Amino acid sequence: GAVVSQHPSWVICKSGTSVKIECRSLDFQATTMFWYRQFPKQSLMLMATSNEGSKATYEQGVEKDKFLINHASLTLSTLTVTSAHPEDSSFYICSARTQGGSDDSNQPQHFGDGTRLSIL
């Protein structure tokens, strides 16, 4: 159980292109999903917390107009990197938190397989 699917797994595109990444919880409903970025040999860096039906909460230093997040249903969140540039090249990973009774705040996050984004 607790399977998270992320698509696409690899994207190579030209500078200035917008790229959309999808994150789906396949066998559970996720009120909250998270978007991370990870540079080589570095730790996960939380970009934003996505809540179903409301605006995402962005971490300090993350441009919300550049990284558009939509969480329109309990099983799908999308991250769109707008006008991508080479410095946006990274490994983007989503995660979804399983629900645990009345309070799912301390439930583990389950990760998608990640999207490797390369901007030329």
Q: How far apart are CA 31 and CA 11, in angstroms?
A: 27
| Single-letter amino acid code for the residue at 33 | M
Q: Which two tokens stand for residue 99?
A: 């629900």
DSSP letter (8 states) at residue 21: E
Q: Compute the least distance from the CB of residue 40 to another protein, in Å.
A: 10
Binding-site member from 7, 113, 118, 120 for another protein (CB under 8 A): 113
6: contact with another protein by CB under 8 A: yes
3-class DSSP assignment, residue 68: strand
Q: Compute the least distance from the CB of residue 97 to another protein, in Å.
A: 9
Binding segment (CB under 8 A) for another protein, from list 11-19, 62-70, 73-81, 100-108: 100-108
Q: Which two tokens stand for residue 38?
A: 């990870």
Residues in contact with another protein by the rule CB under 8 A: 2, 6, 42-44, 46, 91, 93, 105-106, 108-114, 116
